[in-house]
Amino acid sequence: MNIESIVNAILGIVWSPYLVVLCLLTGLYFSVRTRFIQLRALPDMLRLMFRHERSDAGVSPFQALSLSLSSRVGVGNIAGVAMAIAFGGPGAIFWMWIVAFLGASSAFVESTLAQIYKDRDAKGQYRGGPAYYIEKGLGQRWYAVLFALVTVLAGAMLAGTQSNAITSAVNEAWDVPVMTTTAVLLVVLGAILIGGVRRIARVAEWVVPLMAVAYLLVAALVMVLNAEKVPEVIMLVLRSAFGVDAAFGAMIGTAIQWGVRRGVLSNEAGMGSGAHPAAAAEVSHPVKQGLVQSFSVYIDTMVVCSATAFLILSTGLYNVYDPAVNGIPDEARLLLGNLPGVEAGPRFVQHAVESALPGFGRSFVALAILPFAFTTILALYYMAETNISYLCRDRPAPWVVSMFQLLFLAATGYSAVNSATVAWSLGDIGVGLMSWLNIIAILLLQKPALAALRDYEQHRQAGKDPLYNPKLLGVRNTSVWQG
List per-residue pLDDT tens for the chain, 483 residues long: 678 788 888 988 898 888 988 999 999 999 999 999 999 999 999 898 877 666 666 777 877 877 777 777 777 788 788 878 877 778 889 999 999 999 999 999 999 999 999 999 888 889 999 999 999 999 999 999 999 999 999 999 999 888 988 888 888 889 889 899 888 988 888 877 766 666 666 776 677 678 778 888 888 888 888 888 888 888 888 888 886 654 555 567 777 887 888 888 777 888 999 999 999 999 999 999 999 999 988 888 888 888 888 888 887 665 543 344 433 333 334 333 344 444 455 777 777 778 777 888 889 888 888 888 888 888 899 899 999 999 998 888 889 988 998 999 998 998 888 777 788 888 889 999 999 999 999 999 999 999 999 999 999 999 999 999 999 999 999 989 976
Per the structure, the count of domains in the chain is 1
Please check whether residue 47 lies inside any domain of the structure.
no
d(CA 297, CA 271): 12
Please check whether residue 4 lies inside any domain of the structure.
no
Please check whether residue 110 lies inside any domain of the structure.
yes
Biggest alpha carbon distance in the chain? 64
Please check whether residue 33 lies inside any domain of the structure.
no
Please check whether residue 298 lies inside any domain of the structure.
yes
Range(s) of the domain holding residue 478: 64-322+341-482
Please check whether residue 258 lies inside any domain of the structure.
yes
Please check whether residue 59 lies inside any domain of the structure.
no
pTM, full prediction: 0.89
Query: Which CATH number covers residue 243?
Result: 1.20.1740.10
Please check whether residue 115 lies inside any domain of the structure.
yes
